[in-house]
Amino acid sequence: MKKIVAILLILTTFYSYSQKTKNTEMVKKNTKTEEEWKQLLTPQQYFVLRQKGTDAPSEDGYTSHFKKGTYHCAACDLQLFESNSKFESHCGWPSFDDAIKGTVNYVIDKSVGMIRTEIICASCDSHLGHIFDDGPKETTGKRYCVNTTSIKFVIGNK
Ligand SMILES: [Zn+2]
C-alpha cells in the first residue's frame, strides 16, 4: 500500500512539474475579436495581419533596415525576430533566417494554387508572411519572408 502511495506521489509531482514547464514555454494567447482588431489597427495592418494580405514588394519599410534591435508583432507586441537573424535577401520583403523560439507558428497554406507554409504570431495568430527553404545555407537555410506591416522595430543592442 505504501508503495502505491509513493508511486502516486511521484507521478503527481512529475505531472504538475511537466505542466508548469509547458506553461512557461508557451506564449500567452492574445484573444481579441475581429471588431477589436479593426479598431486597433490601421486599414493596411488589418488587411495584412488579420486578412492575410501581402505588402507590395519594396526595398523600403524594413526590407533594407539593418539596425540592432528586435522586431515585434505589430498587432500584439510579442517579440518575434532579433536583428541578428535578419539578412539581405533581395526579395523585396524583410527576411530572417530564424525566429525567437516559440513565438511563430507554422500553418500549411494552399491558397493561390501553391502549397506554402504560412507563419503566424503564436500569441495573436496574426499573419506575418511565409517561410521558404532558400535562406542562407551557412545558418538555418530558412527564409522567414515577413511583411513590413506585420512587424514593428524596437531599437536594442543585439
Ligand atoms: Zn501577435
Q: E strand or H helix at 107, and its extent?
A: strand 104-109
Written out in words, the top-level CATH class of the domain with range 2-155 is: mainly beta
Is the pLDDT assigned to residue 23 strictly greater than 70? no
Q: Find the 114 Cα to ligand 1 centroid distance in Å.
A: 25
- Going from the Cα of 118 to the center of ligand 1, the distance in angstroms, rounded, reads 14
Give yes or no for residue 10 having a pLDDT over 70. no
C-alpha of residue 106 to centroid of ligand 1, in Å: 14
Identify whether 91 is a catalytic site residue.
Answer: no
Taking only the tens place, the pLDDT of each residue in 35-93 is 999 999 999 999 999 999 999 999 999 999 999 999 999 999 999 999 999 999 999 99
Q: Is the pLDDT of residue 27 over 80?
A: yes
- Between CA 100 and CA 123 the distance in angstroms is 13
Distance CA 11, CA 79 (A): 35
Burial class (CB in 10 A: 0-12, 13-18, 19+), 42: exposed
Domain locations in the chain as residue ranges: 2-155
Q: Which of 6-10, 19-23, 135-139 has the highest mean pLDDT?
A: 135-139
Q: How far is the CA of 44 from the centre of ligand 1 (A)?
A: 15
pLDDT, tens digit (0-9, with 9 covering 90-100), for 91-121 = 999 999 999 999 999 999 999 899 999 999 9
